[in-house]
Structures are given as structure tokens and as C-alpha cells.
Amino acid sequence: MAEALNSVYKAELIDCREWSGLIEVMAETSRWIGWYNRQRLQSASRYRPPFEVQAEWTNQGAAASVAA
């Protein structure tokens, strides 16, 4: 899984442009990680943002705890 994520990172960010230095790479990487974790739509989650899927999962767990 880590290799797959690294491939996506390199294809979507690193290999797409010229970089002026390490600081720029670090700043853009931080932004990319935020986007990837919070906004990127994925087919496995029916093209919903990750935060929405996580909220649904958390709410299901809370509902199950109340029902038990």
C-alpha cells in the first residue's frame, strides 16, 4: 500500500513540475497530503470525500454502541 501511495504522490505532484528547492517541495507536499486525506474522491467510497466516509463510519459505530 505504501508503494501505491508513493506512486500516486510522485505522479500527481512531484513529476509534474520543476522544483526550486526543498522548502517548496515540503510545502506543496503538505498541501497535497491535506487534499489527499480530506478532499480526494475515490471510487471505493462511491466518489465521496474521505471525511464524509469517516463521519458516516464513526456515526455507525456510535449508533451500534448505543444500541448494545
pLDDT of 1 above 70 = yes
Report the residue count for the chain. Answer: 68
> How does residue 17 score in pLDDT terms, banded at 50, 70 and 90?
very high
CB 9 within 8 A of CB 32: yes
CA–CA dist 54, 52 (Å, integer): 5
pLDDT tens digit sequence for 23-57: 999 999 999 999 988 888 888 888 998 888 888 99
Q: What is the pTM of this model?
A: 0.65
Cβ-based neighbours of 63, under 8 Å, separated by 6 or more: none
